[in-house]
Structure 1
């Protein structure tokens, strides 16, 4: 299943960012064109010489550069350069893939008339900020050295997914760097490593750059608190200090900046309650208020904030805010509201939503809001993004059919208590791209769906109570999840026509779909887009289409159906599968040798089928394998893979239970499982989709602690070995001692003999140990009492003797864990070890005196049986009249009335 709510935020938020990046890139292009045209007219010869000298001194990637690489080729090739009267006044070298540092003798510092410098998004590899910058002219008004950060998301706007390493501020210090820049208006030092205290950086700014209007020092290792000296910067309109460690309460002095329009302090360690006095906000104008703090701010949202008539942007997400929503009656200019991930309660119908004529973005998810969702919300003229998931909203989604619908693009109402029918007006939203109605109580679609808009990319309806046979299938979907409903239908024959062009994820899991898998599914399977196909937990029959094993799929889950026949053969070397689950079907035949071509497999589950043959040693070539489940099949023979080197160093779960495997336990194989020897990360096993913030969650079923369970989230730390219900024999291998990260070990129902090795006491992470129904003898090692995490133990039905370890931990196990070991005594068994010992000694003494009598007694038993048998049966065999009389006697007994 795919992680909904948080997981299915998916591509739409990513799309918003993508559009913003496109817009920024477009602006940059126009800026470059303008700068180029200016340079053609006014760039002097001496300035061109300095620029060429600067280019030659820098190390940059010529294949990715768009500015430096073109300098000097023609009179119009000076991209990123702004000039006036023949002098360079602006230089933008951002995103130029410059690496290393800038030499202090660089010609950059001889551009004496520079007023704007932008070196953002380059790889300075933690180089020191060059001291020559301190010698720049006093006229410089804009200095951008590091990443530019988005105030609404807290993320740097990077040109791609590369890791951008920033500058260090050591020498010069902040004060010496900006000391002669009295005309500086904008300062961007985001990501520079400063490690300075609040009083130091506040005083340096206040004394050196009195005309500063934009202060952006995100993620600079600044400490707090914010000093009052910062108040002297009266012109500040933008303050961005997020991702620092200010460790203070919400700074009240910020309310005294009369020109402040953007305030971003999220993830700064701010604490305490939100300031409630209205005077705190009397100077705030068109303020973008961004105080995301990740569980720091508490208390309620002050009612005085309702009076901020010019407020346009409000983000108080990821805090501990309580109470109800303010009405914001006067805040009609709000375009952005994000109060998600708090503890807000109450209804939202009291808010005058009809007044929010400029609202574009509303996110209230992950709170405890309840009641109806007001219909006016869906008809606001500018609202494009509604995220209300993970609350307690109930009722039905009903609006006046005569009301005009606007350009809603994203609608997320997942994980609420909404019920009834999914209304038809949702499908009439012609700009809708993202729809999440999952984890509610919707029962059906109100009208049949035809010709859905091509803009709809994501439809997530999983975990409802939908019935019937109608599926909403947009013409070009990217993500479709109808899992965990009550849909009773066959899969449409033309399903491949909908999935072939752009679909990445398609799930019908946990419904009542029946019939065969349509052949048209091959169109989607051969597509380069489809990554996940999940048809598990249905009533599908027939065979598995060969195309599914020859596709570009990353995840194929057909578990728990009625599929029959063989696993498709001739799997190509291009197999890209990471997860293959064919378990709980009626599959027969052998495991195909060509399955070893799927060299990227991490999870392989063919359990609970009727597969025959021997252990698949050819899987040894799959080095990425982490989960192997072959339980409940008809595999036989020994695990004799000594001729093949094992590469399963990442293996963490193996289940071979309920087969007919025999021979000794595979000692060398056990020794090669490195992932069970050392601690690993806590990441879950899942497949990351090529959609923003979404993944496919793998699941595994098995017997854990004696109970059949399904693991919905498989942590990478989880390790398990289950060889139970086979015919393994011989001793428990000593190589088990190295598997110190093993959590579950089940060797029950075999013919394993010998004693329990004390080295099992070294498996300190072990939570479950089942050695029952074997031929184990000897005593229970006292070392097992050292397993502090052991919560399930079963040693029953063996030949163990002696006393059960007298340990408080062992007293927590029930009597059934030790029963049917005739030689065991002590708690929790109701057998005293002293009584058992006395009886044993008496038996030994009597045996010494009467050995010969006992010998003849036991020898006489079979002899007497043989003699008695022939005395009675001999006449019946050799005397015919006796035999007829015997038959007549039983006829009267059996057939009399």
Structure 2
């Protein structure tokens, strides 16, 4: 063993000197405890002591134990106060905390411009000011915070350009500028110089349309690139496949085009790929090395071809979302065997064939959505094998057969939407009463049997229309207190409508019982404050009077009672319903005159009214015509967007007569307007006020007893597409103002007493003989009867029609000429003879007779007074 030699005195001296030097340096580097506490208390006062920092109080414990404060070696290095209701500015003295490296003030209420006072925080490495109220530009010298590694400025109102200085942070690892108002520039290519950058978030901004800078592909350490809705155009650079660290790529909701680069599927670390809502085309690339992919969303593009069979290699895949494309072929069987698969959404494509039978057998499937395809065969037997299936959505396919029994045993189900298929047979008993089921939509199949005696207690939507269900409405429905939509229409249900259904209107939005075999009266139990928006009872055998309790349905938008046996007068009391858009009373036994409304603004939103095929009489309801505001001055396309009645909760549908044909409007455009009063006993003239309804699309007054002239104001119906005034007793000429109706497709004026020439021009040159048949006085194209000069049309003015029943200018001119000649001859005779006795006797005798009649009349009046 060697001997340890004692250290020399010189070594001891240097060791002691070095110890004191290090100790002195440490003390010099530390900021006094009291000074830091004073700064923090001053900060608390500046921010007006929000509750989150009320615990910042002087005490025996160190301020390093205060909420939101982090210390290292006894010095404050971090302030973290996210979502603490802090208001006001960031004060300059915050940088007096000399060792401060991190500031997190996310989700507060700090207004103003970017706080350049933070340039004085020389050690700052982490800065999170997201979700505040900052405005203006990010300064061009923001890189003065040279040590920053994290810069998070998302969800503010920064605008202008992203400064080039953003690309001059040598240590920056995390950059987030999401959800601001950058709108005058594109992405600075200098970002590609951030060689240490791992996360780049530029999503939800309004950059000028720009391609993805190829400089970005130099970010070899980048793990996350998030650029959703950033106004990207052009193609995805192929070189994106040369970013080896990339794990999360989100370029969704842009205008990217071209093919998906095959290099993306070579990225070994890629786990999430989101390219939805672009204009990408071509086929989906084959999987090469991206075997770690867990989520793929390529929906809402123009992709074609098939799903690559090697997607089955993605053994970590949890979500496959490919809806709204043009993909075709069969769904690969290999996908059904992926053990991690939870979410499958393939709807609105052209997939055909059967769903692979192994779907769900090996996985914990939660969502299975394949609607709007061409799929055939039956539902797979194992979709609920994992016991976590939340929804089966397979509507608009060609699926057939009976429903599998597992549907009745899958207690996790929330939604079953399999309408518009070819299913048949009975519904598995357990499905009706499934424990968690909220939505059951089975319409447009061939299901049969009776409705169940037990129904899921929290069911909110039950749609079974267009099937072959029979029997009565069971009381199980009255216990479904959560039910908001009940559609039993187009079945074979019988019996009376239970009175308790009216009580359900407290929750119900839609009650649709159309086209069944119900009889009896309409329930009269609609309570005040109910939520009912659609009541459809069309096509049954209901009779009696309308229940007055309907007046309690103040949210009612659609009331369809057509094709029943209701025997009542017109329900004027309905004109106070503020939301009523559609009123269908056709083909009943309503009678009497409609009369005038006592309401100041009756039917304020009524757009579709059908009272046809009843026994109404009297004059047309002029008072209503003048107040149908929803049929006046309506924007033709409502800001260019097509919207339908019931959007958001139910697509309303009604049966109407349009252009001479009875059709079912499966979806009702909010701009569609119609008045159908045909096949009644209305009499009198067509009121000129009807011309104020300039947004009217269809007007049918046929098969009544209307007389008088067609008002020229009909020419104001600028959007009219179908006008039927046939089978009345109208006379006079066809107003030339109708030529201006350029949307008019169907015109029927047959079986009237119209005369004169048929107007020419625009749509009138397209109508055929049957538009004018049985009007013996009409002439001109397209009729074979030619018009003479005496039939030359005259421009009409409101309340000043031409001449009645065939009197033209020729007849008037003849009368006028004869009168002039007779007058001149008589004057000449008087001049020659002075005062002919025969003329005096004729005039004075007439005057004497008139005087005697007036005297007798006066005596009679005087006698009555006495």
Equivalent residue number for residue 431 of structure 1:
388
2:227 matches 1:245: no
Determine whether 1:46 maps to 2:38: yes
2:676 touches 2:699 (CA, 8 Å); kept in 1? yes
Are 2:587 and 1:632 equivalent residues in the alignment? Answer: yes
- 1:203-222 matches, within 5 Å, as 203-207=164-168, 211-222=172-183
Q: Secondary structure at the match of 1:46?
A: helix
Could you tell me how far apart the structure 2 residues matched to 1:616 and 1:287 are?
66
How does 1:283-682 map onto structure 2 within 5 Å?
A: 283-294=243-254, 296-348=255-307, 350-399=308-357, 405-445=362-402, 447-449=404-406, 452-471=409-428, 472-473=431-432, 474-494=434-454, 496=455, 498=456, 500=457, 502-524=458-480, 527=481, 529-551=482-504, 552-680=507-635, 681=638, 682=641
Q: CA deviation at 1:776?
A: 2.0
Which protein has greater RCO, CA pairs closer than 8 Å, 6+ apart? Answer: 1
Cα deviations by residue, 1:75-102 (Å, 9 ceiling, x for unpaired) = 9999972332474722334374x7xx73
Question: Which structure 2 residues correspond to residues 782-821 of structure 1 after superposition, within 5 A?
Answer: 782-821=736-775
Residue aligning to 2:855:
none
Measured after TM superposition, the shift of residue 332 of structure 1 is 0.8
Distance change in 2, residues 1:235/1:215 (3 Å): farther
Q: How does 1:1-20 map to 2 (within 5 A)?
A: none
Quickly say closer, same or farther: Cα 1:790–1:168, change in 2 above 3 A: farther
For the 8 Å contact 2:102–2:124, the answer to whether it is kept is yes
**Following the alignment from structure 1 to structure 2, what is the Cα–Cα distance between the partners of residues 129 and 673?**
52
438-447 or 188-197: bigger deviation: 188-197
Give distance in 1, aligned partners of 2:758 and 2:356: 67
Give the 3-state SS of the residue equivalent to 2:383 in structure 1. helix
Give the Cα–Cα distance (whole angstroms) in 1 for the partners of residues 371 and 738 of structure 2. Answer: 48
2:722 aligns with 768
Q: C-alpha separation between the residues in 2 aligned to 1:71 and 1:272?
A: 54
Judge conservation of contact 2:543–2:564 (CA < 8 Å) in 1: yes
Query: Residue in 1 aligned with 2:800?
Result: none
Does residue 186 in structure 1 map to residue 150 in structure 2?
yes
Does structure 1 residue 83 correspond to structure 2 residue 108?
A: no
C-alpha distance 736-167 of structure 1, shift in aligned 2 (>3 A): farther
- The aligned residue for residue 832 of structure 2 is none
1:234 maps onto 2:195 in alignment: yes
Q: How much does 1:836 deviate?
A: 7.9
Q: Distance in 1 between matches of 2:537 and 2:67?
A: 57
Q: Distance in 2 between matches of 1:67 and 1:52?
A: 10
Contact 1:145–1:189 under 8 Å retained in 2: yes
Alignment partners' CA distance in 2, 1:657 and 1:319: 49
Kept in 2, the 8 Å contact 1:796–1:820? The answer is: yes
Tell me the CA shift for residue 181 of structure 1.
2.7
Show the 5 A alignment for 1:749-768. Answer: 749-768=703-722
- In structure 2, do the counterparts of structure 1 residues 415 and 686 end up closer, same or farther at CA, with 3 Å as the change threshold? same
Paired with 1:79 and 1:805, the residues of 2 have a C-alpha distance of 90
Rounded to whole Å, the distance in 2 between the matches of 1:50 and 1:80 is: 16
Structure 1 residues 215 and 571, CA, compared in 2 at 3 Å: closer, same or farther? Answer: closer
User: Does 2:221 correspond to 1:266?
Assistant: no
Runs of 4+ in 1 over 6 A off after TM superposition: 41-44, 68-80, 104-113, 838-845
CA offsets per residue over residues 672-726 of structure 1, 9 Å max, x none? 22222233534634446xxxxx632111220112111222222222222222222
TM-score scaled by structure 2?
Answer: 0.80
Distance between the aligned counterparts of 2:58 and 2:466, measured in 1?
A: 63
Number of equivalent positions:
755
Deviation larger for 576-585 or 130-139: 130-139
Counterpart in the other structure of 1:102: 88
What secondary structure is seen at the aligned counterpart in 1 of 2:696? coil
Aligned-pair distance for 1:575? 1.6
Deviations 1:587-637 (A, max 9, x none): 111110011111111111111111111111221231111112111111111
- State whether residues 39 and 93 of structure 2, in contact with CA within 8 Å, keep that contact through their aligned partners in structure 1: no
The answer to whether structure 1 residue 713 and structure 2 residue 667 are counterparts is yes
- Cα distance change of structure 1 residues 45 and 298 upon mapping to structure 2, 3 Å threshold: closer
Q: In 2 relative to 1, CA 281–375 (structure 1 residues): closer, same or farther, beyond 3 Å?
A: closer
Shift of 1:456: 1.0
Task: Provide the C-alpha distance between the structure 2 equivalents of 1:591 and 1:312, rounded to a whole number of angstroms.
Answer: 63
For each residue in 1:799-858, what CA deviation from the matched residue of structure 2 results, as whole angstroms up to 9, or x when unmatched? 22221222133102222222222222211222211288599999979x99xxxxxxxxxx
Two-structure CA RMSD over aligned residues (Å): 3.3
Match of 1:129 in 2: 113
Paired residue secondary structure (1:654): strand
- Structure-2 change in CA distance of 1:105 and 1:842 (3 Å): closer
CA distance in 1 between partners of 2:217 and 2:338 (Å): 32
Query: Structure 2 vs 1, CA of residues 47 and 676 (structure 1 numbering), >3 Å: closer, same or farther?
Result: farther
- Distance change in 2, residues 1:229/1:45 (3 Å): closer
Distance 1:302 1:685, change over 3 A: closer
Quick check: 379-388 or 226-235, which moved more? 226-235
Deviation at 1:118, TM superposition (A): 4.8
Distance verdict in 2 for CA 1:818–1:86, change over 3 Å: farther
Q: Deviations over 1:545-578 (max 9, x none)?
A: 2222111111111111111110001321132101
Distance 1:138 1:620, change over 3 A: farther
Cα distance in structure 1, aligned partners of 2:459 and 2:97: 53
Deviation at 1:275, TM superposition (A): 3.1
| Counterpart contact for 1:70–1:78, Cα < 8 Å | no
- Segments of 5+ residues of structure 2 without an aligned counterpart are 1-32, 793-805, 816-866
Structure showing greater Rg: 2
Q: Which moves more between the two structures, 634-643 or 532-541? A: 634-643
Instruction: Name the structure 2 match of 1:739.
Output: 693
Distance in structure 1 (CA, Å) of the matches to 2:543 and 2:53: 64
**For the residues of structure 2 that align with 1:274 and 1:130, how far apart are their CA atoms?**
33
CA 1:400–1:816: 2 relative to 1, 3 Å: closer
| Equivalent pair of 1:247/1:270 in contact (CA under 8 Å) | yes
Task: Name which of structure 1's ranges 468-477 and 802-811 shifts more when overlaid on structure 2.
Answer: 468-477
- Give the direction of change, closer, same or farther, for the CA distance of 1:400–1:51 in structure 2 (3 Å limit): same
Pair 1:196-2:180 in alignment: no
CA gap of 1:68–1:639, structure 2 versus 1, over 3 A, is: farther
Give the Cα separation in 2 of the matches to 1:68 and 1:650.
54
TM-score, L = length of structure 1: 0.78
Please state how far the C-alpha of 1:581 moved relative to its aligned partner: 1.0
**Inter-partner Cα distance in structure 2 for 1:188 and 1:746:** 64
Name 1:36's counterpart in structure 2. Answer: none
- d(CA) in 2 for partners of 1:734, 1:72: 81
Deviation at 1:185, TM superposition (A): 2.7
C-alpha displacement of 1:457: 0.6
The one-character-per-residue Cα deviations of 1:423-448 (angstroms, maximum 9, x if unpaired) are 32124341111111211112123643
Change in CA separation of 1:725 and 1:56 when aligned onto 2, cut-off 3 Å: farther
Structure 2 contact 602–624 (Cα < 8 Å) conserved: no
